Amino acid sequence: MWALSYPGRIFQLPPMSLSPLRPDMPQPLQPFVTIAHTLLDLEVRYFTPIAALDQLLTHTSARAVNAAKADYHFYPYVNFLDDEDHLEFVEQAKTGDMLYPDQSATLVIACRLNGAGTDGQRLRLTGPGIQTVNELTVAGIPSHFWTLRAEMIHYPLGVDLILVDDQQVAGLPRTTVLA
């Protein structure tokens, strides 16, 4: 996925017909299953608190584990992290260690990106992969999540984010600074 190479740039997901999806799958879960089929295999572990998505992700051969052990976290509903109990899952995410900073988690989170009707938080992004400053408006993720993200990042340690808005994604690697 190019999204993490170009932080804050919005990319389109491929058409769902190219992925092995069930026709009765709830709409909010479809892009997450497409992303999971790209990222997950039998060598990685994932976490999602959503039972319906967990059932669909078992077909990737990846192992379901608790939030503290997962390589990938999937949160498919906008505003899901508004609940403090749900935000605890994020707090448990792996950030790697100094010998293996790559053994951290990637969080895949539903939100609303830019576009009409998006009156969320405006993020100013700087860092590797950004020539000057990128701006991204994100709604459906609470402001205290962004504070938590900043607290979790001690480069090279931290978590990477893939933000999902229906068929669009934007990446925010741990190297991206939010101003």
Write out pLDDT tens, residues 121-150: 999 999 999 999 999 999 999 999 999 999
Write out pLDDT tens, residues 39-62: 999 999 999 999 999 999 999 999
Tokens of 125: 């992004």
Residue 14 has a pLDDT of 84
Average pLDDT over residues 74-102: 96
Average pLDDT over residues 81-100: 97
C-alpha–C-alpha distance, residues 107 and 148, integer Å: 13
Domain boundaries of the chain, sorted by first residue: 2-178
Residue 104 has a pLDDT of 98
Residue 119 has a pLDDT of 76
Asked if 178 contacts 151 with a C-beta cutoff of 8 angstroms, the reply is: no
User: Hey, is 96 helix, strand or coil?
Assistant: coil
Model confidence at 12, pLDDT cuts 50, 70, 90, reads very high
Instruction: Indicate the helix (H) or strand (E) that contains 123.
Output: strand 121-126
Q: How many helices (H) and strands (E) does the chain have?
A: 4, 11
Residue 179 has a pLDDT of 82
C-alpha closest to that of 72 among 25, 99, 32:
32
Please name the fold of domain 2-178: Rossmann fold (3.40.50)
Helices 143-152 and 84-91 sit at what angle, rounded to 10 degrees?
20
